[in-house]
Amino acid sequence: MAIHRISADFIHPGNGPMLPQGVLVVDENGVILAIENQRLGNEIIYKGVLCPGFINVHCHTELSYAKGLIAPQKGINAFISDLENLKKTIKEEEKIKAIEAALIQMESEGIVAVGDIMNTTMSLPVKAKSKIKFYNFIEVYGSQNASADLVFSKAKVLLSQTPLPCAITPHAPYSVSEPLFQHICSQSKDSILSIHHAESEAEIKFFEKGEGPFAIRFENWQLPLPQHIPSLDRPLTWIMKQTSEQQNLLLIHNTFINKNDLKWVNQRKLFLGLCPKANLYIENKLPPMDLLNEFRSVICLGTDSLASNDRLSILEEMLTLKQAFNLNWQDLIQFATYNGAKALGFENELGTFEIGKNPGINLISFKEDQPRITVIDTNFYSKN
């Protein structure tokens, strides 16, 4: 078995301080054998920061066909309408080719695991060939109480066809009825709910008061408002009332999260998944990092889809937050590695450099002040 010693200016272990000129001792398959503080002179040395592979906690690979086809910054209501119209015009073979290209891109961007939103089985054969580890979230919609049993039954059929780990998950608190939400919560207590949360002011206004563009959309669809709307509650407060204290929650976007919402972070098992580039694409707004600063241990990163992003790159999500809020690389890399792995339940395999793990190895280098990502292939050294 070939053993390699790899070093860089810094090693970020994923869940601890950076180690200057540290050394990773790995086998030819990338399994971590040791982490050492001192070079011996026989290392492969890089300029930059070595860190574990990135975790993309939120992606819709099924929507990869929509890259560049939806106008930006028109708001979430227009985005959803445009996307629904677009879905009907693209052939399935084109959609599958787009998924294949998206997974290749994510691998090249150092992404080793993805929380992937599914509405069909279309992506499964493509994902089965990928090196990426997936948590498959089977997303359901169903705003009317009367349809809850039927919607959940169909979702269970899809669940039975989907490799583990997987779970049925609600799209958002405004798009599922209370009975359907309760069906979803009846799954195994180990399942994770990945919920779109506070992505726009319009959805919060609709949820609390039953007013605004979302209400007009229901009227156009000739559907009554969901029975729990207007709720007179913040969406997250309603979610907390519907779920048990043991429920694992991954809240996605959080663009319009507020101080009152954040009181739940210290009380419940939840993670905050941020997709900053998609937030700019749809609403031209970023999450309030001044409020989120004290909750760094539960922040993780996603790319959303190519319908709302030009590239599925966790490094670019990190850069977006760094440029907007002057965040440090220590925190940003933890968001992208350890925190994401914990959010998806992958922390025993991925997210940190620890002996016995094979978390992937990324190099973030800084050429002309422009960070770049290189995936370190330890098997390459064994062949050359």
pLDDT tens string 218-266? 888 888 999 999 999 999 999 999 999 999 999 999 999 999 999 999 8
Beta strands in 205-316 (DSSP E): 248-253, 270-274, 299-301
Measured distance CA(136)–CA(22) in Å, rounded: 35
Measured distance CA(230)–CA(233) in Å, rounded: 8
User: Is 348 contained in some domain?
Assistant: no
**Residues near 142 by Cβ (< 8 Å), separated by ≥ 6?**
148, 151, 152, 175, 176, 177, 180
Measured distance CA(143)–CA(239) in Å, rounded: 15
Neighbours of 223 (CB within 10 A): 11
What's the half-sphere exposure (Cβ side, CA atoms, 13 Å) at 35?
21
- Interval 308-360: pLDDT, tens: 999 999 999 999 999 999 999 999 999 999 999 999 999 999 999 999 999 99
User: 60 and 46, same structural domain?
Assistant: no
User: Is 350 contained in some domain?
Assistant: no
Phi-psi region of 41 (alpha: psi -120 to 50; beta: other; left: phi over 0): left
pLDDT at 190 over 90: no
User: 310 and 236, same structural domain?
Assistant: yes
User: 91 and 213, same structural domain?
Assistant: yes
User: Is 349 contained in some domain?
Assistant: no
User: Is 147 contained in some domain?
Assistant: yes
Comparison of pLDDT for 378 and 319, the residue scoring more: 319
**CATH number of the domain bearing residue 374:** 2.30.40.10
Comparison of pLDDT for 330 and 188, the residue scoring more: 330
- Triad 153, 273, 139: Cα angle to 5°: 15
Neighbours of 328 (CB within 10 A): 8
User: Is 330 contained in some domain?
Assistant: yes
- Interval 156-178: pLDDT, tens: 999 999 999 999 999 999 999 99
Contact by Cβ (8 Å): 240, 247: no
CA dihedral 185, 190, 194, 195 (to 10 degrees): 30
User: 162 and 107, same structural domain?
Assistant: yes
- Interval 46-73: pLDDT, tens: 999 999 999 999 999 999 999 999 988 9
User: Is 139 contained in some domain?
Assistant: yes
- Triad 166, 170, 172: Cα angle to 5°: 140
**Residues near 131 by Cβ (< 8 Å), separated by ≥ 6?**
107, 112
User: Is 261 contained in some domain?
Assistant: yes
Q: Beta 133-140 vs 192-197: how paired, if at all?
A: unpaired
Six token digits for residue 13: 């272990």
User: 238 and 116, same structural domain?
Assistant: yes
User: 137 and 24, same structural domain?
Assistant: no
Containing structural domain, residue 74: 54-343
User: 17 and 113, same structural domain?
Assistant: no
Phi, psi at residue 10, to the nearest 5°? -145, 150
User: 66 and 9, same structural domain?
Assistant: no
How many residues make up the chain in this entry?
A: 384
Residue 327, helix vs strand vs coil = coil
- Triad 85, 130, 4: Cα angle to 5°: 140
- Looking at the structure of the chain, the number of domains it has is 2
**CATH number of the domain bearing residue 148:** 3.20.20.140
User: 376 and 337, same structural domain?
Assistant: no
End-to-end CA distance of the chain: 14
Percent share of the chain, pLDDT over 90: 86
Residue with tokens 């090693």: 11
Reported as a pLDDT band with limits 50, 70 and 90, residue 380 is low
Percent share of the chain, pLDDT over 70: 98
Residue type, 136: N
Long-range contacts of 310-313 (CB under 8 A, 24+ apart): 310/67, 310/68, 310/277, 311/105, 311/109, 312/56, 312/59, 312/102, 312/105, 312/106, 312/109, 312/111, 313/105, 313/109, 313/373
User: 313 and 239, same structural domain?
Assistant: yes
User: Is 70 contained in some domain?
Assistant: yes
Residue with tokens 């999450």: 287
- Interval 6-15: pLDDT, tens: 999 999 999 9
User: 361 and 228, same structural domain?
Assistant: no
User: 147 and 34, same structural domain?
Assistant: no
